[in-house]
Amino acid sequence: MNEVASCVAISEGSGWHSKVNRAAFTLGGLVAAGFIASDFEARAVLLEAALYARPQRERQALSIIQSGLVAGQRQPLTPKDR
């Protein structure tokens, strides 16, 4: 979420869309693996970060987040032990 929110400090066209998509995909995978209780919770947190960085892009953020969560849920992720 920090990477998405940090886009507030950078200009348009510098990766906000990709960062939101990557975060949504990752969260979707964690939801599918059971590490996050619900996609509703993940969606809310990510939307807050995305709108912090680009408040005028709510509709686009919702679309990116929905797509990324759905795609991520097809591939459960398990954090690797270090």
pLDDT in tens, 20-61: 999 999 999 999 999 988 888 889 989 998 888 889 999 999
DSSP 79: P
- The contacts of residue 17 (CB under 8 Å, 6+ apart) are 60, 64
Output the pTM of the full model: 0.82
Of 57, 74, 40, 82, nearest to 4 by C-alpha is 57
Q: How far apart are CA 82 and CA 36, in angstroms?
A: 20
pLDDT band at 5 (very low <50, low <70, confident <90, very high): low
The answer to whether 68 touches 23, Cβ cutoff 8 Å, is yes
